[in-house]
DNA sequence: CCGTGCACTTCACGGCGTATAGTTTTCTCA
DNA sequence: TGAGAAAACTATACGCCGTGAAGTGCACGG
């Protein structure tokens, strides 16, 4: 809050710092307003005109901060995806280190909990964000995606001592994976072989499927207990991996 | 093609039958045009004006056939979802009956193959179809969803003789599931207990996750071999269920 | 104190869904 | 066969949307 001004001395906010600060504040307000609109009306409610209306501006004023609406959406995805990555990393870090099972369960539950608490954010990150939007190849969002994948690799690495015998016949090699992902994963988990990275992606698919079906309302039309389903499947998953259970 | 006229005699296409036939043809042309637009430009390309342009009409003419754009989209979803259900049911039916594993693999591969061949259709059915669209509670699409779930229940039923011991501690009861789903599943698979239906939904999540990540381009950014990943995970899944393998 | 640059507004264009009213074609029936 | 009803379709209009071009006013740097 008390800005890192940079050039000028202290109390008097003169100089170039002020303009930059105002600019940053407005940028943040635009993003906050957009996130608010998304929370109340879904990703489709993110329109430049609606944001401007809410802020008492003209829509075109936003073009001073974002070159286009897709740019704004990209920034939002970056933020939201990073928040998701933060959430699951925090859950992993704070889970009692009783054993792999506890941390794996904590990570997976955090993933689902975040998704159910931020369904619009989940759609923004993993679905069709907004009409006509196409995701860029690089930037913070792919970085966040790799953070999530790295977290998954952590799950795989934790389970690997137990699960390794089950994946002996895996035909995966390092060249089956994106270099940017391996740059993060291999230093973090040097003992994890390619088959272990593949396991991470399998876990991703496994968890993503149940959560996505639930967030998009498909699961809720078939069962009244998605909680139970997720919990049981999680226990089953841990068992399947050969990881010894610790507690529920 | 040679219409079922109804009232009038034969060659002369007079009477009410002709109008109805023309109406049905125009309706079909609208849907075909919409599907074509979706295939080329994604679900967002489905606009009444674009359809009308393509057909040499005014946009408002479509209102004679569909009350609103969402109605049209709903109809498209119905068709596409039914096509998906047809595809997986056909794969199941035509798979060599060597054993459960073969049929399970056939079903799962058909699901993924269809999704990759019709990515826009997959998005239409399982994602945010179009801005602001909200799915109706009943109609052909939910029916198709239940058909797919019933197919999944078939997988579960086929695996159940082997997998049953693994799910002894399942806490599911009949009241955990939608009545409409059970109306289809229980007559088809009388021996499948609630835990087996739950297994069907777990399988759904499992497969959906990998396929959805791939269709939406998230998986392809991490691995260059999604095929291999899906295939290995499928084998792993069958093994995990305790189903004896037959062939690749 | 003047000039420059930035934040912002105004106006405009084309595209969207859709409501209302009017027009043309087609079928029905006395 | 001809009048009337009904259906199919067009025309016009409204309020949304993203976005481009041009204009305005104020804060800043020299």
A20 and A129 inside one domain: no
pLDDT for B6 beyond 60: no
A121 and A41 inside one domain: no
Count of domains observed in chain B: 2
CATH number for the domain that contains residue B81: 1.10.357.10
The whole-number pLDDT of residue B141 equals: 82
Cβ of A172 and B228 within 8 Å?
A: yes
A49 and A152 inside one domain: no
Dist. CA A69–CA A73, nearest whole Å: 6
A4 within some domain = no
Residue B52 in contact with partner chain A when CB distance is under 8 A: no
Q: Which of B126, B142, B209 sits opposite A210 (nearest CB)?
A: B209
Instruction: State residue B177 phi and psi, 5-degree precision.
Output: -120, 160
Residue A222 in contact with partner chain B when CB distance is under 8 A: yes
A222 burial (CB, 10 Å; 0-12 / 13-18 / 19+) is: buried
The shortest C-alpha distance from B246 to chain A (Å) reads 17
Residue A149 in contact with partner chain B when CB distance is under 8 A: yes
- Taking alpha carbons only, the member of A150, A134, A139 closest to residue A204 is A150
| Alpha-carbon distance values, B55 to A109, B30, B173 (Å) | 50, 8, 52
Cβ of A149 and B213 within 8 Å?
A: no
B208 within some domain = yes
B247 within some domain = no
Of B34, B51, B66, the domain-final residue? B66
- A135-144, A177-186, B27-36, B156-165: segment of lowest average pLDDT: A135-144
A28 and A110 inside one domain: no
A223 and A124 inside one domain: yes
Of B43, B66, B89, the domain-final residue? B66
pLDDT tens-digit readout, B217-233: 999 999 999 999 999 99
The whole-number pLDDT of residue B134 equals: 67
A19 and A138 inside one domain: no
Total number of residues shown for chain B: 248
Assess contact for B223 and B213: CB atoms under 8 A: no
Of B66, B81, B105, the domain-final residue? B66
Q: Which two tokens stand for residue B205?
A: 């999540």
A35 and A74 inside one domain: no
Taking CB atoms and an 8 Å cutoff, what residues of chain A touch B199? none
Q: Which two tokens stand for residue A93?
A: 């870090």
- Taking alpha carbons only, the member of B157, B218, B216 closest to residue B191 is B157
pLDDT tens-digit readout, B47-63: 999 999 999 999 999 99
A19 and A75 inside one domain: no
Instruction: State residue B223 phi and psi, 5-degree precision.
Output: -130, 150
Size of interface A-B (CB pairs under 8 A): 155
Q: By residue range, what is the domain housing residue B48?
A: 14-66
B162 within some domain = yes
A46 and A163 inside one domain: no
A81 and A182 inside one domain: yes
The answer to whether some atom of strand C lies closer than 7 Å to the beta carbon of A51 is: no
A57 and A132 inside one domain: no
B8 within some domain = no
B30 and B82 inside one domain: no
Please report, in tens digits, the pLDDT of each residue of chain A (248 residues total): 333 333 333 333 344 577 788 899 999 999 999 999 999 888 889 999 999 999 999 999 999 999 999 999 999 999 999 999 999 999 999 998 788 999 999 999 999 999 999 999 999 999 876 656 667 766 778 889 989 999 999 999 999 999 999 999 999 999 999 999 999 999 999 999 999 999 999 999 999 999 999 999 999 999 999 999 999 999 999 999 999 987 54
| A77, A128, A181: best to mutate for the B interface, most B CBs within 10 A | A128
**% residues pLDDT > 90 (chain B):** 75
Instruction: State residue A177 phi and psi, 5-degree precision.
Output: -120, 160
- pLDDT grade for B128, boundaries at 50, 70 and 90: confident
Q: Using the CA of B22, which nucleotide's C1' is the nearest one? A: D8
A7 within some domain = no
């Amino acid at each position: 809050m008390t800005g890192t001004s940079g050039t000028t001395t202290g109390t008097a906010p003169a100089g170039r710092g002020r303009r930059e600060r105002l600019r940053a504040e407005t940028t943040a307000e635009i993003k906050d307003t957009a996130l608010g609109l998304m929370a109340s009306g879904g990703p489709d409610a993110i329109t430049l005109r609606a944001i401007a209306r809410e802020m008492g501006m003209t829509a075109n004023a936003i073009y001073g901060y974002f070159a286009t609406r897709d740019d704004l959406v990209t920034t939002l995805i970056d933020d939201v995806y990073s928040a998701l990555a933060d959430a699951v990393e925090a859950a992993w870090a704070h889970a009692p280190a009783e054993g792999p099972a506890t941390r794996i369960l904590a990570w997976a539950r955090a993933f689902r909990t975040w998704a159910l608490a931020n369904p619009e954010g989940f759609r923004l990150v993993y679905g069709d964000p907004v009409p006509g939007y196409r995701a860029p190849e690089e930037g913070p969002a792919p970085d966040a995606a790799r953070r999530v994948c790295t977290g998954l690799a952590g799950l795989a690495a934790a389970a690997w001592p137990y699960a390794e015998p089950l994946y002996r016949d895996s035909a995966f090699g390092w060249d089956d994976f994106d270099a940017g992902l391996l740059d993060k994963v291999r230093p973090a988990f040097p003992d994890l072989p390619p088959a272990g990275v593949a396991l991470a992606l399998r876990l991703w698919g496994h968890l993503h499927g149940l959560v996505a079906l639930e967030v998009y309302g498909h699961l809720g039309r078939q069962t009244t207990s998605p909680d139970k389903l997720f919990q049981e499947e999680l226990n089953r998953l841990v068992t399947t991996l050969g990881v010894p259970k610790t507690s529920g």
